Structure 1
Amino acid sequence: MGTVIMHSVMSVDGFIADEKDDVGPLHDWYYNGDTPIVEGARFRVSRASAAYVRPMWASIGVIVVGRHLFDLTNGWEGRPPTGDHVVVVSHRPKPEGWHPEASYHFAGDVRSAIATARELAGERVVAVNAGDVGGQVLSAGLVDEVAVDVVPVVFGSGKRFFGAVDGQHLLEDPHVVIQGDRVLHLGYRVRR
């Protein structure tokens, strides 16, 4: 089975967006370099970031997101930003008539979402978006690794990387520490 990685970009003080879902400068590093992440894409990052992001994105089979992010992005119009499938944690079904060709699956809770994602991903990575859903998946003991792209900005308040995670969770020492341009890529395995 593939690894479940909770991932997102965050501010130094632990936020993935402000209270109004504005990400501010958190994604600027995706556009400040000269190396494309994938051919033909508009994302151009530093060479160090590209060496990290390219294999990570290529390894992803399924993305797990909450309904809030799905609604904010309109599900990326039925085209996952990476991977082949998206699993949406939601108590509401897929909008009627919304991109019937898209491989988007809706699950009522995080356990069934991860089970569906693992089945769809096979040996590939399941990437769980940080925030409330990510915190729920971590709290349920279903996250294998935490990957964070830390951007040098302080938000002061907003949507927390770990959402409303239950309890304390120990991580191993970082196995990924890569400095890009205006971003620090970190990876931690969850201690079992």
Structure 2
Amino acid sequence: MGTVIMHNVMSVDGFIADKNDDVGPLHEWLFSGDVPLLRNEVGEYDHSGTGGGIRVSGKSAGYVRPMWESIGTIVMGRTLFDLVNGWEGKPPAGDHVVVVSHRPKPEGWHPEASYHFVDDVTAAIAKAQELAGERTIAVNAGEVGGQILAAGLVDEVAMDVVPVVFGSGKRFFGGIDGQHLLEDPDVVIQGDRVLHLKYKVRR
């Protein structure tokens, strides 16, 4: 089974977006560096800028590149799916997406894309593991991510912390109840305008 990593970019006070789902400056570091993160059709890193302009600093690239390339399946909530229209059927990492939603896939929406809609977080992780094999399962933080962590289905928590204070908005861990212990961080990397942290979940 692949490792289940709950992951997102967040403000220093723990928000992944404001109350209107605006991410503000949280993703600026992803577009301000010199090192491309995505590969082109022939498997080379896309230096042309056609890959959405996703470029990070060299300090971030050594961590982010292998993490993104390890992903087999992304698990996301319906709110994010609707906000980005499922990235038009082309996720930024991995080959498959599992959407936790009580509503089905929109009729006629990108039938060629490997997107699967389930209405339960346990079923979502089971489907994601089936699709990912030994590759990583990346769970987007927020309400769904918090539910998956609370269900004991997350192995690691990864945060890209941006130096901005939101004050209010959508929380990294959603509305999770109770305490959940993590181990000491096994990754601490200072990038340009971002701090990368990764923790194993204590069992």
Query: How would you bin the TM-score normalised by the shorter chain?
Result: over 0.9
CA separation in 2, counterparts of 1:24 and 1:63? Answer: 23
1:77 partner amino acid: E
Alignment match, 1:80: 91
Query: Which sections of structure 2, spanning at least 5 residues, go unmatched?
Result: 39-44
The one-character-per-residue Cα deviations of 1:18-59 (angstroms, maximum 9, x if unpaired) are 000000000000112111122223111110101111000000
Which residue number corresponds to residue 8 of structure 2? 8
Q: Does 1:160 align with 2:171?
A: yes
Secondary structure, aligned partner of 2:27: helix
Q: TM-score, normalised by structure 2?
A: 0.93
| Equivalent residue runs for 1:75-114 within 5 Å | 75-114=86-125
List runs of 5+ in structure 1 lacking aligned partners: none
Report % sequence identity.
78
SS at 1:24's partner residue?
A: coil
In the aligned structure 1, how far is the partner of 2:35 from the partner of 2:113?
Answer: 29
Residues in 2 aligned to 1:181 and 1:108: alpha-carbon distance in whole angstroms: 38
Alignment deviations for residues 50-109 of structure 1 (CA, whole Å, 9 cap, x no partner): 111100000000000000000000000011111000000000000111000000000111
Shift of 1:146: 0.0
Task: Say if 2:25 is the partner of 1:25.
Answer: yes
After alignment, is 35-44 or 147-156 more displaced?
Answer: 35-44
Deviating beyond 4 angstroms after TM superposition, the runs of 4 or more aligned structure 1 residues are none
Q: Distance in 1 between matches of 2:57 and 2:107?
A: 41
Give me the CA root mean square deviation.
Answer: 0.6
Number of residue pairs aligned between Structure 1 and Structure 2: 192
Moved more, 128-137 or 31-40: 31-40
Q: How does 1:120-131 map to 2 (within 5 A)?
A: 120-131=131-142
